[in-house]
Amino acid sequence: MAIIDFHNHVYPPEYIEAVQAGPSAYKVAFDSDNNPVLHSPGDYNIIVPGHRFMDFRKTVLGEAGVDKQIISFTAPGTLIETPQRSVELSRMVNEIFANIQNEHSDHFAALATLPLNDPHASVVELERAISELGLKGATLFSNANGIPLSDRRFWPLYEKADEWNVVFFIHPTYPVGVEAMTDYMLMPLVGFLADTTLAAASLVFSGVVEKFPNIKWVLGHLGGAIPYLAERLDRGYEAFEQCRENVSNPPSGYLKEFYYDSVNFDVKALQFAIDFAGAEHILAGSDYPHQIGSLEKMLASINQLNITVEEKAGILGKNAAWLLGL
- CATH classification of the domain holding 306: 3.20.20.140
d(CA 45, CA 29): 10
pLDDT confidence of residue 42: 62
| CA geometry: angle 94, 89, 134, nearest 5 deg | 10
Split into its structural domains, the chain has a count of: 1
d(CA 1, CA 189): 33
Q: Which domain holds residue 281?
A: 4-324
If residue 30 lies in a helix (H) or strand (E), which one and from where to where? Answer: strand 27-30
What lies within 8 Å, CB to CB, of 310 at 6+ separation is none
Task: Report the phi/psi class of residue 188: left, alpha or beta, with left for phi > 0 and alpha for psi in -120 to 50.
Answer: alpha
Q: If pLDDT is split at 50, 70 and 90, which confidence band does 100 have?
A: very high
Q: Give percent of the chain with pLDDT exceeding 90.
A: 90
pTM of the predicted model, to two decimals?
0.96
Using DSSP, state whether 270 is helix, strand or coil.
Answer: helix
- pLDDT tens column, 164-180: 999 999 999 989 888 88
- pLDDT tens column, 64-96: 999 999 999 998 889 999 999 999 999 999 999
- pLDDT tens column, 222-247: 999 999 999 999 999 999 999 999 99
Instruction: Give, as one character, the DSSP assignment of residue 258.
Output: S
Give me the mean pLDDT over the 136-157 stretch.
97
Q: Provide the pairing of β-strand 143-144 with 147-148.
A: antiparallel
Question: Among candidates 226, 244, 286, which has minimal Cα distance to 66?
Answer: 286
- pLDDT tens column, 15-44: 999 999 989 988 889 999 999 999 876 678
Residue 195 pLDDT greater than 70, yes or no: yes
Q: Are 168 and 215 in contact (CB under 8 A)?
A: yes
DSSP assignments along 203-227, one per residue = HHHTTHHHH-TT-EEEESGGGTTHH
d(CA 73, CA 17): 16
